[in-house]
Every structure is written in C-alpha cells, then in structure tokens.
Chain A
Amino acid sequence: MAELDTSSGGEKGGKVRSKKQSTKVDLTAMVDLAFLLITFFMLTTSLSKPLAMDIAKPDKDEKNDDNKLELRASQTMTILLGKNNKVAWYMGEAGKSTPTIEGFVDIRASLLKNKENVKKTTGKDIIVIIKPAKGSTYKNFVDIMDELNITKTNISAPAIDDDPAHLQEGEIQAMKQGGIY
C-alpha cells in the first residue's frame, strides 16, 4: 500500500526516538466514495439531456390563405383540443357527425380503432388533423402529438391547424355543448 520509508538511516547518534508509525492508509472507503460519485456523474450527464419532439408545420402563405389541401372525408379524423384537458374528435366533415368528447386516457383507443376502420374501409392510411382551440394548454398539444406517435397514426404527417379562424362553426358548437370551449 501507499507507504513511505520513515525509518531513519541509523540510530547511532539519534537521541530522540520517535515511535515508528505506519503510514498505510486504508483507501477502501475513499475508493468507494469515488466510485459512487463517478456513477452519479455518469448517469446525470446522459440522463439530464432533454428530448426533442420534431414538429413540421405546413408552409404558410401570407398573401393567400386559401391554399387549402383537400382531404377525403372518409379518411380524416379531426381532433379538437379544448379546455379542462379534454378533446373532441370526429370523423369526416364537421357538423355531419357528432364529435365524441374524451379525455386523454381514452383517445389512444379511439385513435387505434379509427386507424383500423379507415384502413379496412378505404385501404388508405388515416389522416389526423389537430386543431388546438381556445383553452387548451401546451401540454395538451404535446400529449396529443405523443399519442399520434405511439399509435403510429402519423404515417401521413398530421396536419396541425392552429389558426383560430379555421375553427368551423359546427366544431365550436359541439365543443360548447361538451363544455370544453
């Protein structure tokens, strides 16, 4: 172990005799501590890195706002984000089918079900439109994008339509009825 030679050359002329003491230090505890700290720093450096969710939005044209993309009604599912952590979703066109009001727990099942239905009836992939309305929080938005990721309903990129002017009358009506607008 770590030690120093403390013995003096000879003791012939030495009058003062000090007791020889070993300089061996038990390093076990020190090594333990060092490894504990190493583990801590190793884990925190890689774990503290935040994660990034990529979002792509359609190009916006300032001059003419009517560069709308026509979507097949049979293929689209519109999800409206409302207040109190609730969503309303409907298939097809606004006003023609009554939106279902749901919480974030149930939306996953609905997404999966609709995805399957669309695939079965049209043979195409589902297109999801997200419309965050008044009262929805940022967390709601991240959550719904995450649900799309989990359920793999984002094969054709989800359309995020967050312009409040694009909310249709029928949609607002339905959300008001559900008490989430």
Chain B
Amino acid sequence: MPRVKVPRKSTAIDMTAMCDVSFLLLTFFILTATARQPDPLDIKTPSSTVQFKVPDKDLGILSIGKGKVFFEIIGQDVKKLTLQKMGEKFGTTFSPDELKRFAVVSAFGVPIQSMKQFLTMNGDQREKSGIQTGIPTDSTTTGQLYQWIQQSRLATAELHNTDMRITIKGNSEEEYETVRKIVDVLQKQKVNKFSLITSAEGAAK
C-alpha cells in the first residue's frame, strides 16, 4: 500500500499586510489622542459614580485649587474671540499674534493686566514665574472672573450658536466655601446649571 504523503507546509504567515494595518490604526489613534496638558494647579478630582462624560466642545472649565481659580476655554476660535472681547472690556487691545498665542493656552489664571506679559512667556516660564495667581474673583459684575465667563459664553453663542457648558473642576480637599464663591459668580449671571467634573468610581451597588 502506498503511503499517503502529506506535503509539509511552512507555518510562516505573511505578516506584511497585518503589520501595515496595525500601524495604520496605531497612527490614527496616536493622532486622535489628545495630549494631556499639564495642569497648572495640581488638582485631584473627587470620584463619583455618574456615567455622563464631559463633551469635548463648547465647554468652559473652572479649575479650583489652593484657593485660586483658573479658567480654560475649549476651542481655539472661541478662545480668540473671548480674549478680544475681554480686551475691549478692560481697555487693552491684543494683537493678532497675541490672540494666536492665546488660542493654544490651556488653563490660565492671570489677571487681565498681566495677560500680555503672560502671553510672551513660554510654558516653563509661566510655571516658574508665579505670574499665575488665579483670576480675581470679586463677585461684582465688573469682576474679571464674571467677565471671563460671560464673554466666553457670548463668544460660544456667537460662533457655534449653542450654550456653553460650564464645568467646575475642584480639588477634593478644597473648602466648600471657595467653591461656593465661584458658584455665586455663576449664579449672578443666571447660570444655575453646571457640571462638576469627577473621576470614575466603581459602579453603584
């Protein structure tokens, strides 16, 4: 009886196509991943069980930590228009170059008077110089924080035709009193609904 000969086949597979695809995907994910900006205030957010994720546009983030307030506006176009409007309010004009620089700033906490100086610095200097003393929070309608929030809301409405969502990102150990002051500023301009940013916690039992 003749023996059946099974031809031996190589087990090596052509990996080229697989490699191509995986690197394509890798490139895609790397590019879409947003680089995490270093937080000027070291904030540890409290955790909660809510599942609602923060949208990534038309957003204003108020960071509260160490008794200071920082503000961050999402969206370069909104940022530019906001700074322009702020300049008009406080009697300074910002050059197109300064507006461009401001468009890439993430969270900032400087009084409007030192904004020009702040914009000429680079990231390292901003951190070191101690110029970021927080936005003045006096709760009058001419106060800077009040104006920042209002002007950014106006800018969002103008450019994107939607309401800006205001979120508060507070440090866990912050006294509630500090947060209350910020909320008061919000309520003064009839922002009664806002969100608190929290990190995830195990699901509710």
**Residues of chain A whose beta carbon lies under 8 Å from any beta carbon of chain B:** 1-2, 26-28, 30-31, 34-35, 37-38, 41-42, 44-45, 48-60, 62, 81, 132, 134-143, 145-146, 149-150, 162
Contact = CB atoms under 8 A, between A and B. Distances in A.
Given A56-B192, A137-B174, A1 B52 contact: no
A147 B179 CA distance: 20
Interface stretch (B43-51, B69-77, B81-89): B43-51
Interface residues of B, number: 56
The 4 closest A-B pairs by CB, nearest first: A41-B29, A27-B15, A52-B195, A34-B22
Contacts of A28: 15
A1 to B, nearest CB: 5
Contacts of B113: none
B33 A57 contact: no
B90 interface: no
Interface of B: 12, 14-16, 18-19, 22-23, 25-26, 29-30, 32-34, 36, 45-46, 48-54, 56, 64, 165, 167, 169-180, 183, 187-188, 190, 192-201, 204
Contacts of A57: 183, 187, 192-193
Contact of A142 (B36, B48, B175, B190): B48
17 contacts: A1-B15, A27-B16, A27-B19, A37-B26, A38-B22, A41-B29, A51-B48, A52-B198, A53-B196, A54-B52, A55-B194, A57-B192, A59-B190, A132-B176, A139-B172, A139-B173, A145-B196
Contacts of B178: 138
B172 A51 contact: no
Contacts of B18: 27, 31
Given A34-B26, A41-B33, A51-B198, A60 B49 contact: no
Contacts of B52: 51-54
